[in-house]
Chain A
Amino acid sequence: MIRLKDVYLEYLTAAGPVAAVGRVSLEVAAGERLVFIGPSGCGKTTMIYLMAGLLAPTAGVIELGGRRVAGPDPRLALILQDYGLLPWKTVSQNAALGLAVRRMGRQEQREIVRPLLAELGLAGLEDRYPAQLSGGQRQRVALARALALRPAYLLMDEPLSALDALTREHLQELLLEVWRERQVTVVMVTHSIEEAVYLGRRLVVLSPRPARVQAVVENPGAGSPGYRASAEFHRQCGRLRELLDPGEQRQAAAR
């Protein structure tokens, strides 16, 4: 379980402190799939960094499985939109990076990474460099790198937002499959309403900066077959759109 208690974060800039996360309290149950959605610049990435132990909160407490987060935690893996893969490492070197950092032997690394890459549809691409991959393949490698660590918690910051629509839907299916099989606790950030509703069992709508929890939407249908075509799906999308930008909805209704 991930628990945030009154988490507050200020960045110190030349112009003075800038609050990016304002007093967020939240619990993510084990095995849950939670999606953050909020306007750009509201503090989503900052929230992910906080939970990953890469930033310390200015105030408040973050706990992971009952223990206070004080730095990167071996039970947790992180996937970022870009920057995740190292251009100078091959697919298998990138996928094995977390294992190499944990001083695992080469042979053992290979035994974990090979089947994982195959499972994610990357067999035969082991010796390519990221520049030789499509965007979708790159994010699969990033997923492999995270899963190689067998994490209990998986944090993802807009992992699919650089992809075209079709690749994106393929990868959404892949994510659902991977999550189902591994019982990980997932926290994902997206700025796509449809993606949030398709993937997230619980949707947390954040306010403009500094991020605060503006609404929590239960979304029990998430990930079920055919959900995308259902009336419930569209209702949920409409609800989310309303929560994210009530002003525009009212204007649209008036026209």
Chain B
Amino acid sequence: MVLTWRDLAIGIALIGLAWWALAAAVSNPAFPGPLPAADALARLLVAGELAAHLAASAWRVLASLAVSLVLAVPLGLVLGRKQAWDRVLAPAVYLLYPVPKIVLLPLIMVLAGIGEVAKITVIFLVIFFQLLVTTRDAARAIPVPTVLSVKSLGAGEGDIYRHVVIPACLPAILTGVRISLGTAISVLFFAETVAGTSGLGYAILDAWHRAAYSQMFAAILAMSLLGLSFYYIIDLLERWWCRWQYL
């Protein structure tokens, strides 16, 4: 379901209220209330500095998501359709899937440097497997008679993907993207605090070092704004591509 502005306003009001009450109870300069944070967010975004960090983070999430989708979706669709391939690759996937890829960050930085490539690579490594497994399971769940009935119309392998497999898996793929997005942002935060001088993770850590707490919360708010925008776009795409699911 696509978020309406009214739902969003209610959500923001609820979180704001809880935050305000909590901040009042804690009453510590390290934990400012929602108003000083929102004020800092507005000022810093306009000043451009936070906007640049936001853009850097958004780009990293987008790039790693794009690379993961381009590699995981086709592979997942094929593995879901071709049991023989899946039998060969599934053990490797299951061995690698649970390894916390974030532990590879130091190694990746040695190999790829501390720039964009390392950050995008580590996010990719984490979400690639989520997307692969989600897509494969969706492709595997397509009933055989559905495929056979379309084959009887003279459909080749390409037609089967175009008319059956891809549309059937699209809702699951978008759900996979939603789940991966949360993961991607957490991994991004970690990667940005470890190295580099750009991105919201860096901005949060930097503000913390300077004891600039409203700035720190402004960056945290920017991070939630980033996630929110991505979720909103995914919801819109789903509405558009998977209309048959919303009748």
B153 A149 Cβ-Cβ under 8 A: yes
Cβ-defined partner of A52 (8 Å) among B152, B155, B163: B152
Residues of A close to B247: CB separation below 8 A: 129, 131-132
A54 B167 Cβ-Cβ under 8 A: no
B152 A72 Cβ-Cβ under 8 A: yes
Residues of B close to A80: CB separation below 8 A: 145, 148-149
Residues of B close to A149: CB separation below 8 A: 153
Cβ-defined partner of A101 (8 Å) among B145, B148, B153, B243: B153
B153 A131 Cβ-Cβ under 8 A: no
Cβ-defined partner of A88 (8 Å) among B149, B153, B168: B168
Residues of A close to B167: CB separation below 8 A: 86, 88-89
Size category of the binding interface on chain A: 20 to 34
Cβ-defined partner of B244 (8 Å) among A49, A84, A131, A145: A131
A72 B154 Cβ-Cβ under 8 A: yes
- Provide the A77-97 mask, 1 if CB < 8 A to any CB of B, else 0: 110101110111100000001
- Provide the B136-169 mask, 1 if CB < 8 A to any CB of A, else 0: 0000000101101111111100010001100110
Residues of B close to A52: CB separation below 8 A: 148, 152
Cβ-defined partner of B152 (8 Å) among A54, A86, A102, A131: A54
A contacts with B: majority SS: loop
A72 B151 Cβ-Cβ under 8 A: yes
The docked-state distance in angstroms from the alpha carbon of A150 to that of B177 is: 43
Residues of B close to A74: CB separation below 8 A: 154
Residues of B close to A102: CB separation below 8 A: 153-154
Known: A88-B167, A88-B168, A88-B242. A76 touches B145 (CB 8 A): no
The docked-state distance in angstroms from the alpha carbon of A72 to that of B147 is: 13
B154 A54 Cβ-Cβ under 8 A: no
A98 B151 Cβ-Cβ under 8 A: no
Residues of B close to A131: CB separation below 8 A: 244, 247
B143 A83 Cβ-Cβ under 8 A: yes
Residue of B nearest to A53 (CB): B152
Size category of the binding interface on chain B: 20 to 34
A-B contacts counted at CB < 8 A amount to: 61
A189 to chain B, nearest CB (A): 13
B155 A83 Cβ-Cβ under 8 A: no
B163 A86 Cβ-Cβ under 8 A: yes
B150 to chain A, nearest CB (A): 7
Residue of B nearest to A130 (CB): B244
The docked-state distance in angstroms from the alpha carbon of A206 to that of B244 is: 40
A49 B148 Cβ-Cβ under 8 A: yes
The docked-state distance in angstroms from the alpha carbon of A102 to that of B153 is: 8
A97 B153 Cβ-Cβ under 8 A: yes
Residue of B nearest to A93 (CB): B163
A101 B244 Cβ-Cβ under 8 A: no
A83 B152 Cβ-Cβ under 8 A: no
B152 A101 Cβ-Cβ under 8 A: no
Residues of B close to A83: CB separation below 8 A: 143, 145-146, 149
B149 A78 Cβ-Cβ under 8 A: yes
The B146-203 residues at the A interface (CB cut-off 8 A) are: 146, 148-155, 159, 163-164, 167-168
Residues of A close to B146: CB separation below 8 A: 83, 86
Residues of B close to A86: CB separation below 8 A: 146, 150, 163-164, 167
B51 to chain A, nearest CB (A): 39
B146 to chain A, nearest CB (A): 4
The B60-100 residues at the A interface (CB cut-off 8 A) are: none
A125 to chain B, nearest CB (A): 13
The A116-152 residues at the B interface (CB cut-off 8 A) are: 129, 131-132, 145, 149
A78 B152 Cβ-Cβ under 8 A: yes
A87 to chain B, nearest CB (A): 5
Q: Which 9 A-B pairs have the closest CB atoms?
A: A98-B153, A78-B152, A83-B145, A88-B167, A83-B146, A88-B244, A101-B155, A129-B244, A54-B148
Q: Given A87-B244, A88-B244, 6 more contacts at CB 8 Å? A: A52-B148, A72-B154, A88-B168, A97-B153, A129-B244, A145-B153
> 20 pairs across A/B with beta carbons < 8 Å?
A52-B152, A72-B151, A72-B152, A77-B153, A80-B148, A82-B145, A83-B146, A83-B149, A86-B150, A88-B168, A89-B244, A97-B153, A97-B163, A101-B153, A101-B163, A102-B153, A102-B154, A129-B244, A129-B247, A131-B244
